Structure 1
Amino acid sequence: FFLPSEERGYCTDFFDTSFNGQRHTWRLKSTSAERALQYQPGHKIHGFTVKEVTVPDLFLTAVKLTHDKTGAQYLHAARDDSNNLFSVQFRTTPMDSTGVPHILEHTVLCGSEKYPCRDPFFKMLNRSLSTFMNAFTASDYTMYPFSTQNGKDFQNLLSVYLDAVFFPCLREQDFWQEGWRLENENPTDPNSPLVFKGVVFNEMKGAFSDNERLYAQHLQNKLYPDHTYSVVSGGEPLAIPDLTWEQLKQFHATHYHPSNARFFTYGDLPLEQHLKQIEEEALSKFERINPNTEVPSQSHWSSPREDHVTCSPDALAPDPARQNTLCVSYLLGDITDTFEGFTLSLLSSLMISGPNSPFYKALIEPKIGTDFSSVVGYDGSTKEASFSIGLQGMAEEDIERVKQIISQTIDDIIENGFEEERIEALLHKIEIQMKHQSTNFGLSLASYIASSWNHDGDPVQLLQISDSVAKFRQSLAENPRFLQDKVKHYFKENTHRLTLSMSPDEAYLEKQAKAEEEKLQKKIQALSDSDRKEIYEKGLELLTAQSKTQDASLQCVPVQYCEQPTNGLVYFRAMCSLNTLPEDLRLYVPLFCSVITRMGCGGLDYRQQAQQMELRTGGMSVSTQVIPDSTQLDMYEQGILLFSSCLERNLPHMFQLWSDIFNSPHFDDEERLRVLVMMSAQELANGISYSGHMYAMTRAGRHLTPAGDLQETFNGMEQVKFMKRIAEMPDLSQVIRTLPRIKKHLLNPDNMRCAVNTTPQKLSDTAAQLESFIRDVAENRKERKPVRSDITEVRFQQAHWVNIPELNFQPCQMKTFFQMPFPVNFVSESIRTVPFSHEDYASLCILARMMTAKFLHGEIREKGGAYGGGARMGGGGLFSFYSYRDPNSVQTLSAFRKGVDWAKSGQFTQQDIDEAKLSIFSAVDSPVAPADKGMGRFLSGVTDEMKQGHRERLFAVTHKNLVDVAERYLSVGQRTCGVAILGPENETIKKDPSWIVK
């Protein structure tokens, strides 16, 4: 899984993303933390020496150690959290764009000395109770993390991970499969043309078809031109075929060594056991080396630079004539300076986040572009941080104007500074994020410290958040121009500044295809007849290996209260029914949800509203909900979900904001609405290349169930096309007239139920505040109908509306092809089966998991070269096949059919079934954060008894059950299915009259 720097989350996101939901209610005097406090600097434990024991923020004890023999670094975060995490990361600094660290990440997971089977990593997905398993390639490190709640499972996974990274097989055949190879288009036909194949090769072709990703990559390469950041760590498609198997093995020998490793463990399992296993199974077998992987500081330029790149035109762009991007990036300081990084990340948020920020006012509101550029804000993922600001979706003639605006805005900030209230709102946000708990705290922690630790920064210092806040307040008190001085130093006076523009080129894809063809022909021309024969024979060998079976109305408002250790936070949700909404308004509902909390309300304009939401809440959002009935396929619940959280002291303020949104939302600001529409349309268009398989699955299910039809309306390609049409409207007055009509039906206490998660001590106060809110909203209904606004208290008892059957819906077959400007396909076939409570549902869940692991993964990824593929059973009764970043289309549909034949033939073992069950159970019983307890019941009406029945049915699934459901629901002739493909031009499909081409 290649994770470029722009997706890892910048340090600004440390408040928004990395620390989103992290702090458990455990006390410091907890078993694991107390045990860790007993360690002393100098202690020797299983070949390691304790260097430091610290109690930073976040209710944990941090223990830093070094391995005596190899110099490997180790950090343990002891915390009373049962979701334990392990991670090992290596500094990987490529000096070319062949993608060697990325291909190596894939290849080490293809078998090791102790586990020589073809794909132990994917097999452990089915044999483990893990809550997370993956691997990431960043610009300058590669990380291998997993988490699990089970101690024995932790030891098993640790054994697999250690053997994978330190003792991989690195077979040539695995390099061909995962990296790149020349192979006959049809491996069984030596006369078919030779083509490039490989999982990473196809993955990166897909990645570079995403213009946002392409721009971010160019920006990093050009801002840091002197060392490893000047190349593509994930691999540039045309450079990948230059990598040899020998080079891959050499990179592993020098980079995947304990002397270049950083180990991180987290949770309530004892540290001693981890150290013992790591020492015995891996580190004791190595001697210390000098890995020589350090990244030098980038030489600072004496004057600013400008550059230009091109991309493919976006057919879904809100305005085809405005597809230019411009961004100015500044090189900042070393990320190992923790306080400076903290300050600059706060400064970044003040400059760009929300409608009150100077750059939002200067760049977004004049509607020069559709949104900020894809890289924006503080990025602390490289050795030296950067800050970027710019626009996408602009006209070419506005480029100079945007440059001037950026320069002028920096001057204005230096002169005027920031309002004290905005700074307080940001610090309030940090307090919220530190208290909010998530189920993946260990993973967030590992990701957060990775970059700084990678360059020998102090990871524990990063966790001293309250120290940084205190130092920040002190610096501001001592020098009121503290932030303005930083802006002047890093932006006004900084000569290491890159201005990068990007514009579409109609011939871009053609040029890319031509360049690939030239590369291919160059390789082919160098081949002798014996080389061609060897390629054919190796292709057959690989195909054989891939095919081998491996071992291994007037009513009360119901409220659900859930008492939880929420650490002083209150979580509020309200579900509002869509049942009374006229059909012609349905397409507008996602837009309504997007703008209702962002246009102002009551006496607040949108800037003031944004400020109050930041000062008083942890965020307020509204989203569409389509919830299939658990007993009948043609019934579902439709609604919108309101969600917010706040510190206990801010309860009255949070409910006042919701009251103003219900009673007097602002819809009449066309200028503001246009800004939001353009941003939303751009976001949807950008998302397709990344989540194309989800769009394909949604479309494939459209004609199979009423819930599937509504999902396509709200979240599918229909919504993407609709928002493009709205964005192209010269006049939005019709939309402005539509929004109040929707509000009348949706923001209505008659059609609402609520849920609150809070501490027992705060329950009565929360109930009183909520009742006041309900009464206020009910009394302000314009109809002035008599409304009972008293609250029915429901403690974990579902108060669910009766779902309405769609009487006119007739399931039917439909095949849809969307031609997209991508070089790869996203393919899906969905089949109507049974709802959640049906006795066959559990068998279909197990079957989907088993087909993915035992058949489809091999056919679609290994043989087909797609980045991913498989099957899943959805709660809405749809059994869906899918592929992701797939060089094939019609062939993949054939692979789906073969998968059904494989299942019907019963050629799988009891062990295969048991592994699929394990994998399913790790999801069924995954940890639930205090904020989310009871949500299954509140949203879908699925009770604990129903979940237990589902568990029992899963346990009881037999070999015969799986063959039976494959025959009964998935066989040709038995099934009602939908098919969808998003991909490049396809003559085969265009000539087939059974396809609808969009």
Structure 2
Amino acid sequence: MTVNELTAYEVLEHRRIDDLGTDSYILKHKKTGARVVLLPNDDENKVFYIGFRTPPTDSTGVAHIIEHTVLCGSRDFPVKDPFIELAKGSLNTFLNAMTYPDKTVYPVASCNDADFQNLMHVYLDAVFYPNIYKTDKIFKQEGWHYEMESADDDLKINGVVYNEMKGAYSSPDDILDKGIMNSLYPDNTYNIESGGDPDVIPSLTYEQYLDFHRRYYHPSNSYIYLYGNMDMVSKLTYIDENYLSHFDHLDIDSSIKMQKPFEKQSVVHKDYSILKTDDIKDNTYLTMNWSVGTSLDRKLYVAFDVLDYCLVSAPGAVLKKALIDKGIGKDVYSEYENGVLQPFFSVIAKNANADQADLFKQTIIECLEKTVKEGLDKKALEAAINVDEFKYREADFGRFPKGLLYGLQVLDSWLYDDMKPFIHIEAGDTYKALRDEIEGDYFEKLIQEYLLDNTHSSMFIMDPVKGLNEEKEAAKSAELQKYKESLTKEDIDRIVRETAELKEYQEAPDLEENLKKIPMLTRKDLRRNVEPFIYEEKKVGDNILLFHDIFTNGIDYLNFVFRMEDVPYELFKYSGILKSVLGLVDTRNYSYGDLYNEINMKTGGFTASIGTYSDRRDLSKFATTFEIAVKVLPSNIDHAFDLATEIIRTSKIDDMKRMKEILDEKMSHMEADLQTAGHRAAALHAAAGFSKAGNVSENLSGITGYRLVQKYAKHYDEAAHKELVEKLSELMKTLFRKENLLVSFTTDKKNYGQVEAKVAEFADNLYTQDCQKGRLEFVPVKSNDAFKTPGQVQYTALAGNFRKNGLEYTGALRVLQVMMGYDFLWNNIRVKGGAYGVMGGASPNGDSYFVTYRDPHLKRSLDVFRQVSDFVRNYEADERTLTGFVIGAIGELDTPKTPSAKGSYGLMAYMCHVNIDKLQEHRDQILDVTVEDIRKLADYVDAFEEDNSICVVGTSEKINQHRDLFDKVEEL
């Protein structure tokens, strides 16, 4: 039987999409009207999702809370957290759920047929038959609840989504994104916070929450997507017979209403919190925003991405340069959001001042008028289209399955027109049409129509207020205290009782018979052999060329690897700044704007990074590298070498104005990262207290690296400029030398061509003059530090090294990592503690850590970390439970690799001197792990926790409350 012969579905369209090498189907389920899209092809990384259009009417976060809670048990899987049972016992390549402003999506992916079927079954059961109607405790745990363990306790609010959104509302960039959308669409669903406003979430009642599920979680409002190599007929039959056919058709009005265009530009102000010691000056966000058509216009959808590049995103872009030159903001950037019915384009000046608002607007208008009159740079247009099309053709989304990204992009149009799911993933003709427009005035007319003449526009301004979040937290505490005082003894007793009942519910083990209903693979289903490395070591003169013969779909991946052993520490610490400078300053033959365009016209991108490689033969040693990666079509390989040489040898870092712009922008980006990824900052800083390898990362992208950038950006005078130029110049001369070079090259053997000659020529053009050589040495200094932010949550890290008393790395540690993330730490930090996340890891060199994410607690989480070894030492589990963790560990190892990732895997093996037999031993240790093996790991936990290296990024209130834990407290 074929898809066209299925009686339960009507085939609305069936045709070939050559751009993606796949057939395509648009179907409708006859009984319910459920919408279905199929993309059958030979990709083994199969993807399924079911999504629903879920426009909220208030900011209680009901759509977000539903997303969390439907995954907490269902009809066929009546355990408390089937999502976690799947996560720790599945070979999934993706497993999650996402709430958007107007939709909620439940995607899964796997390369294993049985696993894929299991995942699909659990998710379908979760959305249609969740246990949320059987108990309100799921709503309380994941959404919000009042909490008091005794009548004498302060009344508090807790809940996973509540704390997650307190974290989101602690990030100015997150607040900005929400505010921009709200300012443009005040009268439709895009004015609502679908994730939930922490001030509003506690007004959501259990009945309102259930009503939302009843209204929208029905097949008639669903979007079902299947992609990859599978029997589509059997999948569709299964979905119909087990789910869709059990429902009748419903008329559900979930349509997204269009915002009526404005008659004139609106101006909206919003306050955001900074630390009490921060300066109001240079801390305002200024934005200009325009509503741009609809996402159903396939040409406009990509064309504005091109304009985004030409006007603002590219270094030297006309609008960005105009604003920077007038001193309006230290970081100017743009955002083009086209994943909603009414896309919008924003120009943002960060670290600006409120009194610059009129000048900000005037400069934008004048620059756009001048651009329309004089025309856009044709090379910039060509570069913008090329970089977009290269990404489209390459379809490399890192660890995310490409079928998933296609599926999510499908919703950018399918959600608003049942017959237009493919208009944005079938983009080859769109790029051709846009290339044909380069020589005309198409793009200039877009600027005129959608920016200059468009009254559906807003100015959204975020004003800094010192200590705002602290005041809000104090006011909330006072409000809760006042509310408690208004309660009767019976009310207080009820809250105490419900707090205990929720804890009892959370701690109660699932029935064994229910756990066994969760489908699971066996250890025999897992591949025994380790994935081999692909590399061939070739000599090119005195240099190594590491060749990875891999099918790359016609793309060459070049990586210039420079060892840093001879770089003194005083120069090394500037390499984080150097990687942000290369490619973004003038060179001998190009201005920095022209250089950026040249890179994007001739290649698929140029990126610099720092690598650290632990020596598996001697774990006390590691190599640090400075790497420049370029991806390119084989016909342009010569250009890749020429551009790399141009950048390395002729970059002009003595332009004081340009260097200040780069430093300001880098500081802004690092500040945003520190606030949105505080867990990473905390873990890096904790590791730097005892680990040389951890010191590398901390110096470059952690708090220490941020402090160096901050030092120059805030006080960039002639003396600072002279010092920085001297450091960077000496670093480049010391680093970019023939004796430090290794080239890693990933491509098909047929494209190998003349690369050896190009490598030899490239090596001969590197620096040869005398330089400042030394040895790259790190001396970790332990200090338990806390960093205060204006946020409302904590990121708490505990780190150390287990290589004491002869403890050697074992693959069982990977099983323990899964066990912690989805069992002990998950249950105690997230489920009971209300933190949004918790994670941990252990490296072969012994470096290990635990860290929390968007956590309402501080000391409580550290106390939980210190209970881990007792839990591990007394661990009990049946074969099924332990096998689940084994599958989770192997699943993380066996995530399918893209061609570039396979090349990187080979480079890692070479640089780390990985022995394939040792790697196989570690894999065997995972596959054959026993309960006794897990118990032995208690010694490892004790060993690393003995180092007691702590770092917290969090609120002043919590840090001050536990000041005795820290050697040093700073404001971040």
TM-score, length basis structure 2: 0.92
C-alpha contact 1:832 1:976 (8 A) present in aligned 2: yes
Deviates more, 1:740-749 or 1:987-996: 987-996
After superposition, give the CA deviation of every residue in 1:397-453 in whole Å (9 maximum; x if it has no partner).
322211111111111121122122222222222332233243621111122222321
After superposition, give the CA deviation of every residue in 1:968-989 in whole Å (9 maximum; x if it has no partner).
2223798333111111123666
1:963 equivalent to 2:940? Answer: no
Q: What is residue 59 of structure 1 aligned with on the other side?
A: 21
C-alpha contact 2:798 2:945 (8 A) present in aligned 1: no
Q: Return the alpha-carbon distance in structure 2 between the equivalents of residues 316 and 899 of structure 1.
A: 38
Equivalence map 1:487-566=2 (5 Å): 487-517=447-477, 519-521=479-481, 523-524=483-484, 527-550=487-510, 551=512, 552=515, 556-566=542-552
Cα drift, residue 461 of structure 1 = 2.0
Counterpart residue type for residue 755 of structure 1 = S
1:173 equivalent to 2:137? Answer: yes
Counterpart residue type for residue 881 of structure 1 = F
Cα drift, residue 934 of structure 1 = 3.5
Q: Return the alpha-carbon distance in structure 2 between the equivalents of residues 491 and 822 of structure 1.
A: 35
Q: Return the alpha-carbon distance in structure 2 between the equivalents of residues 763 and 200 of structure 1.
A: 52
SS at match of 2:245: helix
Counterpart residue type for residue 788 of structure 2 = Q
Deviates more, 1:504-513 or 1:256-265: 504-513
| Cα distance change, pair 555–718 in 1 and its aligned pair in 2 (3 A) | farther
Q: What is residue 430 of structure 1 aligned with on the other side?
A: 388
C-alpha contact 1:849 1:872 (8 A) present in aligned 2: no
Query: Which residue of 842, 853, 861 corresponds with 2:830?
Result: 861
Deviates more, 1:942-951 or 1:818-827: 942-951
After superposition, give the CA deviation of every residue in 1:154-191 in whole Å (9 maximum; x if it has no partner).
0000110001111101130010000000111xx2x332
Deviates more, 1:657-666 or 1:230-239: 657-666
Q: Return the alpha-carbon distance in structure 2 between the equivalents of residues 574 and 624 of structure 1.
A: 11
Cα drift, residue 507 of structure 1 = 4.0
Counterpart residue type for residue 583 of structure 2 = T
1:781 equivalent to 2:739? Answer: no
C-alpha contact 1:575 1:642 (8 A) present in aligned 2: yes
1:984 equivalent to 2:958? Answer: no
1:266 equivalent to 2:237? Answer: no
| Cα distance change, pair 734–401 in 1 and its aligned pair in 2 (3 A) | same
Cα drift, residue 991 of structure 1 = 4.4
Equivalence map 1:595-744=2 (5 Å): 595-731=581-717, 732-744=721-733
| Cα distance change, pair 98–146 in 1 and its aligned pair in 2 (3 A) | same
Q: Return the alpha-carbon distance in structure 2 between the equivalents of residues 307 and 193 of structure 1.
A: 37
Cα drift, residue 839 of structure 1 = 5.1
SS at match of 1:971: helix
Q: What is residue 198 of structure 1 aligned with on the other side?
A: 159
TM-score, length basis structure 1: 0.89
C-alpha contact 2:301 2:338 (8 A) present in aligned 1: yes
| Cα distance change, pair 748–517 in 1 and its aligned pair in 2 (3 A) | same
Query: Which residue of 761, 766, 770 corresponds with 2:755?
Result: 766
| Cα distance change, pair 781–261 in 1 and its aligned pair in 2 (3 A) | same
C-alpha contact 1:812 1:977 (8 A) present in aligned 2: no
Q: What is residue 409 of structure 1 aligned with on the other side?
A: 367
Query: Which residue of 144, 148, 156 corresponds with 2:118?
Result: 156
C-alpha contact 1:435 1:569 (8 A) present in aligned 2: no
| Cα distance change, pair 476–924 in 1 and its aligned pair in 2 (3 A) | closer
Q: What is residue 919 of structure 1 aligned with on the other side?
A: 888
Q: What is residue 840 of structure 2 aligned with on the other side?
A: 871
Counterpart residue type for residue 177 of structure 1 = Q
Query: Which residue of 370, 375, 378 corresponds with 1:420?
Result: 378
Q: Return the alpha-carbon distance in structure 1 between the equivalents of residues 103 and 453 of structure 2.
A: 31
Q: What is residue 74 of structure 1 aligned with on the other side?
A: 36
Q: What is residue 841 of structure 1 aligned with on the other side?
A: 810
Unaligned runs of 5+ in 2: 516-538
1:120 equivalent to 2:120? Answer: no
C-alpha contact 2:65 2:161 (8 A) present in aligned 1: yes
SS at match of 2:125: helix
Q: Return the alpha-carbon distance in structure 2 between the equivalents of residues 973 and 685 of structure 1.
A: 30
After superposition, give the CA deviation of every residue in 1:524-580 in whole Å (9 maximum; x if it has no partner).
355332222111111111111212233439982111111222122110012211111
Cα drift, residue 952 of structure 1 = 1.2
Instruction: Say how many residue pairs are matched.
Output: 928
Query: Which residue of 267, 270, 280 corresponds with 1:306?
Result: 267
C-alpha contact 1:365 1:672 (8 A) present in aligned 2: no
Q: Return the alpha-carbon distance in structure 2 between the equivalents of residues 874 and 612 of structure 1.
A: 40
C-alpha contact 2:801 2:947 (8 A) present in aligned 1: yes
Q: Return the alpha-carbon distance in structure 2 between the equivalents of residues 822 and 848 of structure 1.
A: 28
Q: What is residue 345 of structure 1 aligned with on the other side?
A: 305
C-alpha contact 1:634 1:805 (8 A) present in aligned 2: no
**RMSD of equivalent CA atoms:** 2.4
Cα drift, residue 523 of structure 1 = 4.6
| Cα distance change, pair 974–887 in 1 and its aligned pair in 2 (3 A) | closer
C-alpha contact 2:567 2:775 (8 A) present in aligned 1: no
After superposition, give the CA deviation of every residue in 1:653-683 in whole Å (9 maximum; x if it has no partner).
1110111122222111111111110000010
After superposition, give the CA deviation of every residue in 1:811-845 in whole Å (9 maximum; x if it has no partner).
7764221122221110111121249x975421222
SS at match of 2:866: helix
| Cα distance change, pair 607–198 in 1 and its aligned pair in 2 (3 A) | same
Cα drift, residue 521 of structure 1 = 4.6
Counterpart residue type for residue 929 of structure 2 = V
Cα drift, residue 703 of structure 1 = 2.3
| Cα distance change, pair 135–316 in 1 and its aligned pair in 2 (3 A) | farther
1:396 equivalent to 2:359? Answer: no
Q: Return the alpha-carbon distance in structure 2 between the equivalents of residues 724 and 735 of structure 1.
A: 13
Counterpart residue type for residue 915 of structure 1 = G
Counterpart residue type for residue 590 of structure 1 = G
Counterpart residue type for residue 179 of structure 1 = G
After superposition, give the CA deviation of every residue in 1:875-918 in whole Å (9 maximum; x if it has no partner).
44222111111010001001111222111112333333211111
| Cα distance change, pair 117–623 in 1 and its aligned pair in 2 (3 A) | same
Counterpart residue type for residue 460 of structure 2 = L
1:996 equivalent to 2:954? Answer: no
After superposition, give the CA deviation of every residue in 1:314-338 in whole Å (9 maximum; x if it has no partner).
6898x76200111111112121122
Q: Return the alpha-carbon distance in structure 2 between the equivalents of residues 47 and 271 of structure 1.
A: 13
Counterpart residue type for residue 368 of structure 1 = I
| Cα distance change, pair 222–618 in 1 and its aligned pair in 2 (3 A) | same
C-alpha contact 2:286 2:348 (8 A) present in aligned 1: yes
Q: What is residue 105 of structure 2 aligned with on the other side?
A: 143
SS at match of 1:128: coil
| Cα distance change, pair 220–518 in 1 and its aligned pair in 2 (3 A) | farther
Deviates more, 1:118-127 or 1:454-463: 454-463
Q: Return the alpha-carbon distance in structure 2 between the equivalents of residues 804 and 909 of structure 1.
A: 51
Q: What is residue 18 of structure 1 aligned with on the other side?
A: none
Q: Return the alpha-carbon distance in structure 1 between the equivalents of residues 73 and 482 of structure 2.
A: 33
Q: Return the alpha-carbon distance in structure 1 between the equivalents of residues 444 and 771 of structure 2.
A: 53
Counterpart residue type for residue 299 of structure 2 = F
Unaligned runs of 5+ in 1: 1-34, 786-802
Q: Return the alpha-carbon distance in structure 1 between the equivalents of residues 53 and 508 of structure 2.
A: 35
